[in-house]
Amino acid sequence: ILNGAGIIKFQIINYIFYAAISLPLKYALGVHYGAVAVTWVGAITYFVFLTIPTFYRGTSYLRKKEMEI
Interatomic CA distance for residues 16 and 30, integer angstroms: 21
Tell me the per-residue pLDDT of 45-64, one tens digit each, with 9 for 90 and over: 999 999 999 898 888 888 88
26-35 pLDDT per residue, tens: 999 999 999 9
**In whole angstroms, what is the distance from residue 17 CA to residue 51 CA?**
13
pTM for this entry: 0.78
Taking the C-alpha atoms of residue 47 and residue 17, their distance in angstroms, rounded to an integer, is: 12
